Amino acid sequence: MSALLVHRGSLTDIVCALQLGWASIEILHARTSSEALRVVEACRPEIVVIDMREGSIDLAREIRRRSNAVVVAVSPLYRESELIAAVEAGCDDYMQITVSAPTFVARVRAALRRVTPTGAEQAAVVAACGNLEVDPAGYEARVRGRPLNLTAKEFELLLHLARHSGQVARHESLSRLIWGDDSDLYGPWLRKYIQHLRQKLAEAPHSDVSIVTVPRVGYKLVNGGNRNLPQTA
């Protein structure tokens, strides 16, 4: 049985959508951030839906720190500033509450698939570039043996870039890798994740790898290069 935690209010349409999508899903409710964190610790839900209001971004960060749950932020209106804040907090998706029930279920299912490694992925060899190693089995990226603190999507992006180091990964293929059929909606997310990855690699002691932007095409992971040269996402 899957468990869903809904933060704040009933969000009736979303609850109904997920109940229709999963006959066996258990619905949990939390009206405050502190209550939501208690439920996360006690029940370990697979999905958390956060109603974007004051304090919700802090809640998302804390859930991400404590749990591997899929975190979906929902808002009455689409706001790019909220989308960017959700990305930075580690949310897996951001949607309007008015999204159709089938679309909501499909996107949550896709997010669940992305964060659940398959047997083949678990058995995959470590991808390497310079002194960077990305280990799918351990779900860990390391620079000279020291782990990087990455979100799930940052890890997926870095793993793909490391497996194809020196080759250009096009914007479209990277977006499709992370967000599937809805990838056209996520241009700002991809740029933000690349910026975060680039910063974390640059800040890692003795790192000799960097992410290079190929204008209007995509990105590639390279060994060496001018790490002091500013790169726009």
User: What are 77-130's pLDDT values in tens digits?
Assistant: 888 888 888 888 888 888 887 777 777 777 877 777 766 555 554 446 788 999
Residue 18 has pLDDT above 70, yes or no: no
Residue 73: its H or E element: strand 70-75
Q: Which residue has the tokens 């690349």?
A: 194
Where helices occur in 53-146 by DSSP H, the ranges are 56-66, 80-89, 101-115, 119-122
Quote the CA–CA distance of 176 and 125 in Å, as a whole number: 23
Q: Which residue has the tokens 């951001």?
A: 94
Do the domains 119-223 and 3-115 match in fold? no
CB within 8 A of 65, min separation 6: which ones? none
Topology (CATH) of 119-223? Arc Repressor Mutant, subunit A (1.10.10)
Backbone angles phi, psi at 11, to 5 degrees: 45, 55
Topology (CATH) of 3-115? Rossmann fold (3.40.50)
Asked if 213 and 232 touch (Cβ cutoff 8 Å), the reply is yes
User: What are 21-74's pLDDT values in tens digits?
Assistant: 555 567 777 888 888 888 888 778 888 888 887 668 888 888 888 887 888 888
Q: What are the extents of the domains in the chain?
A: 3-115, 119-223
Asked if 165 and 221 touch (Cβ cutoff 8 Å), the reply is yes
pLDDT at position 134 is 93
Sequential DSSP letters for 136-153: TTTTEEEETTEEP---HH
Asked if 107 and 182 touch (Cβ cutoff 8 Å), the reply is yes
Query: Which residues share a beta bridge with 140?
Result: 135
User: What are 188-215's pLDDT values in tens digits?
Assistant: 778 888 998 999 999 999 899 999 999 8
